[in-house]
Every structure is written in C-alpha cells, then in structure tokens.
Structure 1
Amino acid sequence: MARPIWSGTLSFGLLNIPVSLMSGERRTDISFRMLDARDNTPIRYERVNADSGEEVAWKDIVKAFEYDKGSYVVLEPEDIRSAAPESHDAIEVEAFVQASQIDPRYFEKPYVLVPAKKAEKGYVLLREALSATGRIGIARVVIRTREHLCAVMPHGDALLLLMMRYPQELVDIDEYRIPEGKGADYRITAREQAFSEQLIETMSGDWDPTQYQDEFRERLQQVIRRRMKDKGVVRREDEEPELHENAATNVVDFMSLLQQSIARKRRTPAQASATGSDAPQSDGPAKKAAKKVTAKPAPKASTKAAKAAAEKAAGAASKRASRSDSSPAKPARKAVTKKRGKVA
C-alpha cells in the first residue's frame, strides 16, 4: 500500500473532510547508474568543501542565498519556517471557478485525495456538488515548508488535487514571435481553410490514452534485454533518415497535402488489408521514380564509358611500338585492366 504524501483536512466553508494526499502519477523513466569505465565500479558523489576539497558532514551544511556573485546570506531553519503559513494540515478552498476559465498551462502535477474512515459522506457531497455545478475549487496546501497553489476537481468517483503554477512562473507568450492576424493576411484561401477543417473532422475521434505508448522507453528496454542476453556490444542498426518531402513550409502546396491526407484517412481497415499496407504503397511511386532517375541512366553511362575505354585501349596498343608511355596512355592501361576484369 502506498504511503500518503500528506494528511490533513479538506476544508470549504465550515465543512472539514479528513483526507490523505496520494500520488497520482507513476514514474516509468529508466534510470542509469554511472560507472567507472575502467572497472565498472559505481560512481558516488561527495559533499566537499570547494576550497579545501574535504568532505563536509550534513550537520555542518547550512542554506544560504547568493544575493551577489560570491556574497551570501545564511538562513537558519527558523527563518524558513517563519515564512511558511501557519496552517500545515488543511487544504483550504478559497474559491470555486469554472474549469474552462483556467489556462491549461497552470496545471502541473496530479494527486488523489483519499477520504479517511467515516469521512466518505462529506467527500461524496463535495464531489457531487462540483460535478453538478461544473466548477473546481482553488485552494492552497503546505507540503513540508512550501505553500502550493492547487485545484480540487472531481474525476469519476475520486477527487483530484492538481498542483498549479503561479502566474509569475509562466512565460508571457508575447515574448515570442507568433504570427498574428487572420488567414487572409497569410494568403490562406477559403478552399484551403475548408479542406483543413475537413481533415480535422476526418481525423477526429474519442480520446483513448491506451493508443499512446512511450516508444523510446520500449525500444530502450529491448536494447537492455539484448545486452543482458548477449553480454556483448550491441551496435545500432544503421537506418537511413527518412526524407519528409511534404514539410509544411510557406511555399508548399497545402491543397495537395490536405487532399492526400483526407484520402488516406478515408480508407477503411478492410481496404487497407485487401490492398496491402498503405504506407509502402504510398512510398512506391517515389521509389520507382528514383530508380528511373538514378538507376537506369547508370548502365548507359557505364556502357559508353566501356566502349570509349576499349577504343582508347586499341589505339594505344597500335602505337605502343613507336611511342613511349606517356600520361595519356596510363588511363588506357587502366581501362584495359577493368575490361579484362569484366571478361574474366
């Protein structure tokens, strides 16, 4: 059973609900240990004095704020505690707002609020009231010594607590160069706009998070398993980078791309299985075109080169008796050698 991160009461008005704060996410990152390449011994870090290089014990370490380069002011634990709010054991809801009014950028990390025994009635009461009104609670909670802005919202049978960012933690979008104005300002035609909307409708569906997996993590796990099995060097297979000819630039034919995209999305699974995989077929014409451009002229060029080499070789052979070897004759000898190699 997972241990609670925090325990206290969820308060709004005069109603207090005993709850525990449980983690709402699970880290799946693959962690690595750093080893000494010479003998595969794990590396460990030590807290050392920057001047003397001697290790410093935890009891001798203090926190300080660097207000200027090389200048510090030391803060005692009492100083930090004095800045924290007095209430450490309550999530106090300060207001209820429409969820649609909150910019998604403010939401940061999810937690699950679990009611204590015999506190289910108040828990369900708040959950149902929030669901009926379509609102979420804005509150503050102190974890350890840090005060966090948070939101309380219903999710199925549970109440979630989402940590939120303060406004000063967000970057003002106006700091970046973002295209302003309407589509007409960028020569977007009504037909392009209509096809874009049609493509969106064609690709629309219900949100299914199970369709999305951490593919990098899965591939990395496969590499690790191969390494453990082979106990040797695992070389990455060379893969030629895929050329994306349909990159969306300002000069690309948007109408052509949109029509192709809609046509692909309209294909049913039955059609795809009957005609084979769509992806290879879509790439087929490009590959054939490449062969016509590069592969077919190559034999002609090589045949002409062979004939020219043979003629030069014959001319050189007839004049060998009267002429000494010169620089123009060297390529002829090389050509003869290549021709003999082909005959052999």
Structure 2
Amino acid sequence: MTARAIWKGRILLGPHEVPVKMYSAVEDQAVHFKLLSRQGQAPVHQRIVRKDTGTEVPREEQRKAFPIDGDRAVILQPDELESLVPPASREIHLCRFVPAGLLADPWFDRPYWLGPDEDADQPYFALARAVARQQVHGIARWVMRKKRYLGALLASGDHLALVTLRRSEQVLAMPAIEPARSRAPSEAELKLAMQLVESISGEFEPQAWPNEHRERLRALVAAKAQGDKVKPFKPRERASGTDLADALRASLAAHRERRVA
C-alpha cells in the first residue's frame, strides 16, 4: 500500500529547490474511550458554561483571554488572533547546517518522513547523501497548517527526515543533581556492572517491547465483552535494600538463566 503524503513543499537550499512530499512517521495508537453515565449507560458530553451562573455559552460568544495579574485578563478577539496566523507557504527554508551530535534528545519533538516529489528525485537523493556523508543536521523553518515550525533535516538511510524542534524556552538545562552520598562503587562492582551491560547488549528490536498497558487493556475489554470474570493484575514486588554487588550478581545470573532457557 502506497503511503499518502500529508503535505507537499520544497526545500530551499540557496538558489536550489528540492521538491518533497511529507509523510507521517508516527501515529496515535492510544485506546480511546467513550464517556457514559453510570446509570443507564447513556452517552454524556461536556458543555461550556459560565462559572458564576452555570448558563451555557454558545461557541460564537466564547472568547480567549490571557491573564495578566490577579483577576485581570486581556481579551483577544477572533480577528486579532487570525491576524497572527502566518501566510501560507510551501517552502522549507534551510537556515544552516550543524554537526549531527550538537542537538541533544530533549530538542527533538515530532518526526516526519520526507520523500521526493514526482520525478524530481535526483536533487532529493543528492541532498540526502550529502547530509549523511557530512554527518550534519539542517536547521529548517517552514509554515504548515497555519503554524510556524522549527525543525532539523536529517538523513535516514538513503532518505530524508524532518523532525520538529522544541523552542529554546521549552528545553531545560540539566539540573544540579546531588552527587552520590554513598561510597563510590568498587572495581569489582564496576566489573560486574560492565558484565551485565555486555550480557544484554544487542540490536534494537522495537517489536520485542510491545505496549503492555494497551495489550492488557484490550484483553480486559475482550474478556468483559464475553462476560468473563477478570482478576486484577498485580505487579510483582521487588526486594529493596539489596547490596549493590549482590543485586548485580543476581541480575547477571537471572539473565544467563533466561538465555539458557
């Protein structure tokens, strides 16, 4: 099945243009619920009401306001908010390239795949290979769905990806974390820890770690739909206060047993 593009545009790189199509890289897999009344199981819905009188306020009478101090707020009219919407554009502006390791994980927000548009694939693949070979990320700006975005253009295999970036005011610096109050780990403990890390090292296989909460939830729904009695799930309790070396040895032994089995 051919993927469906959610947006089309062109990457501007100096005097050159690279036509691209944008595709979703992630999708919502959350389990969604309906709200029903406890008695009668009738669907319920929310209403916007005045806090002082409880009377319903229709959509055309609702206004957004920004609190400034105390009970005061600045009311913004719909046309005022509309004037802040950026003009529609299909251009992805590449501002600069930075070393790939310069952007830490907290900066990355939502990923998208970029593919070549129509028959203009030669400049697309040339750009993808250049970004991969030089190990850089392109800092990009664009407008999509009435909103300005800041993002990172990066190579993914032979193709390109565009990941939206959080703004500087959203990313927090590493807090001043207190140093360890207990003694430093001994060489023997460090060696055990390194053995444990090595013993469970391998390839990243995302299918091996499914969403357990979603699976249990769906199993619960299926069981109740069939009229089965369901026992509450109780997580296994872990022992606390164990010596570090003993805990490492136990973890290493348990992992070896799993590998043998």
Structure 1 residue 224 displacement after superposition? 0.6
Structure 1 residue 15 displacement after superposition? 1.7
What are the equivalent positions in structure 2 for 1:29-68 lying under 5 Å apart? 29-68=30-69
> Partner letter of residue 243 of structure 1?
E
Q: Distance in 2 between matches of 1:201 and 1:258?
A: 13
Structure 1 residues 2 and 170: CA distance shift in structure 2, 3 A:
same
Structure 1 residues 125 and 195: CA distance shift in structure 2, 3 A:
same
Structure 1 residue 52 displacement after superposition? 4.4
> Partner letter of residue 35 of structure 1?
L
Provide TM-score, normalisation by structure 2.
Answer: 0.87
What are the equivalent positions in structure 2 for 1:299-338 lying under 5 Å apart? none
Structure 1 residue 227 displacement after superposition? 1.4
Structure 1 residues 7 and 48: CA distance shift in structure 2, 3 A:
farther
SS at structure 1 position matched to 2:34: coil
- Please, which runs of 5 or more residues in structure 1 have no aligned partner? 273-344
Provide TM-score, normalisation by structure 1.
Answer: 0.67
> Partner letter of residue 179 of structure 2?
E
CA contact (8 A) 2:88 2:144 kept: no
Match of 2:219 in 1: 222
Higher relative contact order (CA 8 A, sep 6+): 2
Structure 1 residue 27 displacement after superposition? 1.0
Report whether the alignment pairs 1:125 with 2:119: no
Structure 1 residue 191 displacement after superposition? 1.7
Structure 1 residue 259 displacement after superposition? 2.4
Structure 1 residue 85 displacement after superposition? 4.8
What are the equivalent positions in structure 2 for 1:243-254 lying under 5 Å apart? 243-245=237-239, 247=240, 249=241, 252-254=242-244
Q: Distance in 2 between matches of 1:79 and 1:88?
A: 21
1:73-132, Cα deviation, whole Å (9 max, x unpaired): 222445445545556321111111122121111111111223321221221111111111
1:288-310, Cα deviation, whole Å (9 max, x unpaired): xxxxxxxxxxxxxxxxxxxxxxx
Greater Cα radius of gyration, structure 1 or 2:
1
Report whether the alignment pairs 1:186 with 2:183: yes
Q: Distance in 1 between matches of 2:258 and 2:53?
A: 71
SS at structure 1 position matched to 2:129: helix
Report whether the alignment pairs 1:236 with 2:236: no
Report whether the alignment pairs 1:169 with 2:170: yes
Count of aligned residue pairs for this structure pair = 260
- Give RMSD over aligned pairs: 2.6
Q: Distance in 2 between matches of 1:268 and 1:212?
A: 16
Q: Hey, which of these two has a bigger chunk of strand by percent?
A: 2
Q: Hey, which of these two has a bigger chunk of helix by percent?
A: 1
> Partner letter of residue 250 of structure 2?
Q
SS at structure 1 position matched to 2:204: coil
Match of 1:198 in 2: 195
